[in-house]
Amino acid sequence: MGLLDIFKKKSDPSSVKYRREMAQRICGHHIKYVTEKIGDIDEVIGRSGGLNIRNDEFIVYASADVLFRCNVDELRASELLSKDGVVLSGPDLEHGGEERTIIAHYSYWRKLDD
């Protein structure tokens, strides 16, 4: 295994290590609003909340409700290019394991240790 293989393996989005690191990186951000594409329209499904990890589950909490809950090892997360939000995909345990994709948009006072 060469040096390049080590760096490539570290950044493999399908690896459990990458998924855990990404979940830790975005955990603690405050959310301004959360959207989900329903049909051809992006609908706001929640406002004012946060991203947390509890018992190895990634939780999106907004509008005084849990909108999305997924095992950290199954979560696919990628930050928006603007770094103002994150796209989250995976089996949503809060909705019977249904595969969902949502976008959480960070509040202005987002996590400072980025």
Per residue in 94-107, pLDDT (tens digit) is: 999 999 999 999 99
Distance from C-alpha of 108 to C-alpha of 86, rounded to nearest angstrom? 14
Structure confidence at residue 110 as a pLDDT band (50, 70, 90): very low
pTM for the full predicted model: 0.84
CA distances from 66 to 12, 23, 62, 70, 108 (A): 29, 17, 6, 11, 21
User: Looking at residue 39, what is its pLDDT?
Assistant: 87
Confidence of residue 8 (pLDDT cuts 50, 70, 90): low
Digit-coded pLDDT (tens) for 20-78: 999 999 999 999 999 999 889 999 999 999 999 999 999 999 999 999 999 999 999 99
Helical residues (DSSP H) of the chain, grouped into ranges: 3-10, 16-26
